[in-house]
Amino acid sequence: MRLPRFHLLQPDTLKEACSMLGDRNESVLLAGGTALLVDMNQRLRKPSWVISIKRVTGWDHIALEQDGGLRIGALASVASVARSPLIAERHPVLAQAATSVGVPPLRHAATVGGNLSLNNRCIYYNQSELWRQARPLCLKLGGDVCHVVEKGRTCLAIHQGDLAPALLALGASVVVMGAADERVLPLRDFFTGDGEKPNVLEQGELLAEVRIPPASPSGGSAYEKLRVREAMDFPLASAAANLRLDGGRIAEASVVLGAMAAAPLEITAATTVLVGQKIEDGLDILLDQVAQQGFERAHPADNLAVDAGYRRKMTSVLVRRALERAIAVAQGA
C-alpha cells in the first residue's frame, strides 16, 4: 500500500520541530516511523505535513547524572536501551521491556519517545481503510459509535506500549518541549487515560527526554509480558515490578500493569501490602494479595486479538512472576 501524499520538512533542532508542528495543524512528527508509517498506510492518519526529526542530533543520549539518576533522550533507539550496560545494571526492568519490543530491525528504528507516545490501539481501529468502510466511524475516528461496547460513549482503545509500565514502576518523569518553553512532569501525568487522546501533548509539543531517579544498590526489578508470539507482538498484558530492600524488609515497592486500559495501571497494593514486610514472613500470601489486586483492577475491553477474560486472569500470573524475579534480583540471586 502506498503512503498518502504529504509535504516533508526536516528541522535541525527539536525547538525548530516544535515551531513547525505548532504552525501546521495537519502535521505529524516522524522519528523512527515504526508506528506512524503503518498508520499512514492504513489511512488512520493522513497528514499534509510530515516533520522528520531524524537528522536532529544530541537527543539520543543515555547519560548518568551525578546523583546516580539517568537521562534518556527521546531519540535514543529502543535497541540502544535494550543493550545499554548502564540500564541493564541499574534498571533491568527497562532493559527487559525494551528487549521485548518487536524484532531487532524494529528496535533499531523505534525511539524511546515514539514508544511512550504510541497511539492507543483497538482491533476495530487498527485495520485497513477498506475494512473500516464496512462499519460506521468509531469514536477514535471522529464518529459517535463504539464497536466494543454497545452504546459506549468513551473510547476504550488500549495503551500497548512496553516501556511505559517499566518506567512508571521506576518513578520516571518526562520533559515535554514546546517552541517557547518546556515542562517536566511525572510520567503518570503524561497519560490521560483517554483512548481518543492518550497523552497530554498539544500541537507544537513533543516528548524530549526521560529522567529516571537513582537506582538503589539493594533494589530489584522485572518485566513480564503476554503476547501471541514470542517476537514482534504488542503486549496483550504486561506487568512491571520494582522494589527496594532494607535490612531484609521491603522498603519500597511498585507494580504497574500494561495493556489493560487506556493508560498503564499502578497497583497500590504493592505499597500497602508489601512495604515493611520481611522477605521470609509469609511472602507467598502477600504476593498473592498483590497479584489478586492486579486482577481486580484489570477490566480490559474485548478489543484485542485475545479474549479479554483470559488477559485479565493472566495479570495475576504476570504480577506474581514479576515480583518474584524482582525480589530475587534485589537479594542478589
Q: Does position 190 have pLDDT exceeding 70, yes or no? A: yes
Gap between the Cα atoms of 122 and 276, Å rounded: 40
Mean pLDDT, rounded, of the chain:
94
**pLDDT for residue 333:** 58
**pLDDT for residue 284:** 86
φ, ψ of residue 318 to 5 degrees: the values are: -65, -40
Residue among 39, 169, 145 nearest 97 (CA)? 169
Pairing of strands 249-258, 205-212: unpaired
| Interval 211-232: pLDDT, tens | 999 998 999 999 999 998 877 7
Residue among 234, 253, 227 nearest 242 (CA)? 253
What is the mean predicted confidence (pLDDT) over 181-206?
Answer: 96
Gap between the Cα atoms of 214 and 105, Å rounded: 30
| Interval 3-24: pLDDT, tens | 999 999 999 999 999 999 999 9
**pLDDT for residue 104:** 92
114 SS3 class: helix
Gap between the Cα atoms of 140 and 152, Å rounded: 12
In Å, how far from its chain's centre is CA 138?
A: 24
Q: Residues 164, 188: contact at Cβ < 8 Å?
A: no
**pLDDT for residue 78:** 97
| Interval 84-137: pLDDT, tens | 999 999 999 999 999 999 999 999 999 999 999 999 999 999 999 999 999 999
Q: Which three cell numbers stand for residue 123?
A: 482491533
The pTM for the full model equals 0.95
CA distances from 236 to 123, 291, 310 (A): 12, 17, 10
Residue among 120, 67, 72 nearest 95 (CA)? 72
Gap between the Cα atoms of 49 and 32, Å rounded: 16
Long-range contacts of 304-308 (CB under 8 A, 24+ apart): 304/121, 304/122, 304/123, 304/158, 304/160, 304/236, 304/259, 305/123, 305/228, 305/236, 306/228, 306/236
- Domains annotated for the chain, with CATH where assigned, are 1-57 (3.30.43.10), 62-117+158-212 (3.30.465.10), 219-330 (3.30.390.50)
